[in-house]
């Protein structure tokens, strides 16, 4: 389950600390890990595993195609079990002896609640610290001492932090403790700094997996819809699964870490094309480091500035197998950006009923949410369209996070066995 061989050094991000600034123990702690952080992911990924299983989830780069398939299957089983009282009872007792700490020093209601629900499905008891400053930190406690405190009381730390790669450093701290015979617990990265949010990528992929099974529960038979779709003009090459598809990304490509992670994961599938549609502004178009990484994976990429630009001779909006919309992350705007952005017509990067009507009949519309009512990148009149997947995407996030937690606690095998024995006999 080791990662693939892309040139995957760390993205250019604010370093945790630099030597000259290491005046506090917090700084010195992070400096200690600096050299480990700089290794390529193919070297680091195995350190985050135990017996071919994730111990910590820190990077989306740890999510191989095989692992994504495996987690998706477990999530599918969990949601099926959850439709029956006996299945719910099985799940709620599965990990009721485990206690999780949700350490969210960067606010995110949606991710937070999704993880809460994911834990609760499996019976895991949740605890939280959400203030950027815990009372201990105001008394001079280091971040690492706080993390060790959490690991004393709880069995899992799910963390979200504005500090780039703090989650990664904490995983190494846990590994060091394990090696010296001390208590150590898994770390799950729920968003760190500007670069990584692996469980968002996980839920995006899971939503695509679900969609491209072409097995909507409203179908008359499980195969009908797919066969009908293949008969439509332009859809004759349609296949099941994530391979052989054209994926569109629209909006704030440059600053959205979800685009970044999802694009990298999609590049691992066979024969995919990635299309990026963004206003022509250096902060909003793809960052060069992502471009280089994608090219190194031999994936075809197109960078466009309109839904109407031609691709294979037709407007790109009509050619996409899936469209990933994003919010313009205004909270990162500088005053200069604001001036510059005022001249951009962002409405050209918003969906409309008309645009959606021209999309392929099966092409799902995704959005990491929240969407912005003021920008209106997805107006609510589209919500009732069958292709609007963004609300189901949220619920998918809950199921796939449950699957991830079951995997980390090595309880996925039990789930699959129970399902086979009780529901499939």
- By CB under 8 A, name the one of 5, 14, 18, 127 that touches a second copy: 127
Please give the residues from 51 up to 90 whose contact with a second copy meets the rule CB under 8 A: 82, 85, 88-89
Residue 114 contacts a second copy per CB under 8 A = yes
Stretch binding a second copy (CB under 8 A), from 174-182, 269-277, 304-312, 413-421 = 174-182
352 binds a second copy (CB under 8 A): no
Handedness of CA 242, 245, 248, 249 (dihedral sign): positive
39 is catalytic: no
Burial (Cβ within 10 Å: 0-12, 13-18, ≥19) of residue 217: exposed
Sign of CA pseudo-dihedral 96, 46, 108, 372: negative
- Contact call for residue 353 and a second copy (CB under 8 A): no
Residue keyed to tokens 């619920």: 395
CB of 283 to a second copy, least distance (A): 18
Is residue 332 close enough to count as binding a second copy by CB under 8 A?
Answer: no
In angstroms, the CA 412 to CA 61 distance is: 21
d(CA 29, CA 123): 34
Find the binding residues for a second copy in span 374-403 (CB under 8 A).
374-376, 380, 384, 391, 394-395, 398
Radius of gyration of the chain, Cα coordinates, nearest whole angstrom: 22
Tell me the closest approach of the beta carbon of residue 57 to a second copy, in angstroms: 20
Q: Cα–Cα distance between 301 and 274 in angstroms, integer? A: 5
* 197 in active site: yes
**Among this protein's residues, is 160 annotated catalytic?**
yes
Q: Which two tokens stand for residue 213?
A: 């099974």
Helices then strands, each counted (H, E), the chain: 16, 13
Helix (H) or strand (E) segment spanning residue 181: none
CB-count burial class (<10 Å; 0-12, 13-18, 19+) for 292: exposed
Q: Which is nearer to a second copy, 25 or 305 (CB)?
A: 25
Residue 343 within binding range of a second copy, rule CB under 8 A:
no
3-class SS at 19?
A: helix
Q: How many CA atoms lie within 13 A of 337 on its CB side?
A: 15
401 is annotated as an active-site residue? no
414 binds a second copy (CB under 8 A): no
Q: Which of 98, 165, 197, 210 is catalytic?
A: 197
Specify the stretch interacting with a second copy by CB under 8 A; choose among 43-51, 137-145, 295-303, 348-356. 137-145
Q: Binding residues for a second copy, per CB under 8 A? A: 24-26, 29, 82, 85, 88-89, 91-92, 96-97, 99, 101, 107-110, 113-114, 116-117, 120, 125, 127, 129, 134-137, 139-142, 144-146, 148-150, 152-154, 180-183, 218, 327, 331, 369-376, 380, 384, 391, 394-395, 398
């Amino acid at each position: 389950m080791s990662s693939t061989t892309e040139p995957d050094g760390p993205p250019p991000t604010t370093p945790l600390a630099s030597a000259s600034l290491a005046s506090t123990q917090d700084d010195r702690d992070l400096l200690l890990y600096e050299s480990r952080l700089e290794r390529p992911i193919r070297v680091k990924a195995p350190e985050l595993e135990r017996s071919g299983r994730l111990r910590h989830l820190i990077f989306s780069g740890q999510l191989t195609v095989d692992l994504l398939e495996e987690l998706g299957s477990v999530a599918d089983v969990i949601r099926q079990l959850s439709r029956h009282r006996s299945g719910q009872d099985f799940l709620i007792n599965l990990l009721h002896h485990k206690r999780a700490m949700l350490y969210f020093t960067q606010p995110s209601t949606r991710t937070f609640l999704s993880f809460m629900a994911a834990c609760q499905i499996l019976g895991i008891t949740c605890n939280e610290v959400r203030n950027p400053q815990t009372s201990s930190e105001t008394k001079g406690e280091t971040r690492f001492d706080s993390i060790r405190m959490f690991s004393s009381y709880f069995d899992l730390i799910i963390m979200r932090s504005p500090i780039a790669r703090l989650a990664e450093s904490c995983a190494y701290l846990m590994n060091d403790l394990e090696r010296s015979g001390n208590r150590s617990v898994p770390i799950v990265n729920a968003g760190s700094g500007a670069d990584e949010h692996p469980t968002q990528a996980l839920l995006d992929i899971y939503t695509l997996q679900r969609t491209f099974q072409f097995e909507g529960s409203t179908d008359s038979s499980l195969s009908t819809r797919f066969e009908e779709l293949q008969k439509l003009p332009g859809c004759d090459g349609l296949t099941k699964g994530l391979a052989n598809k054209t994926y569109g990304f629209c909006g704030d490509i440059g600053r959205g870490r979800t685009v970044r992670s999802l694009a990298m994961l999609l590049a691992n599938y066979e024969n995919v094309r990635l299309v990026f549609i963004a206003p022509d502004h250096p902060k909003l178009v793809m960052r060069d480091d992502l471009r280089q990484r994608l090219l190194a994976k031999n994936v075809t990429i197109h960078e466009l500035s309109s839904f109407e630009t031609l691709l294979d001779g037709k407007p790109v909006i009509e050619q996409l197998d899936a469209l990933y919309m994003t919010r313009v992350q205004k909270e990162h705007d500088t005053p200069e950006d604001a001036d510059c952005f005022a001249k951009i017509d962002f409405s050209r990067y918003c969906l409309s009923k008309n645009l959606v009507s021209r999309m392929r009949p099966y092409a799902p519309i995704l959005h990491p949410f929240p969407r912005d009512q003021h920008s209106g990148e997805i107006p609510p009149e589209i919500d009732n369209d069958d292709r609007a997947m963004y609300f189901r995407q949220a619920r998918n996030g809950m199921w796939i996070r449950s699957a991830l937690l079951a995997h980390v606690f090595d309880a996925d095998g039990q789930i699959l066995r129970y399902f086979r024995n009780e529901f499939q006999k």
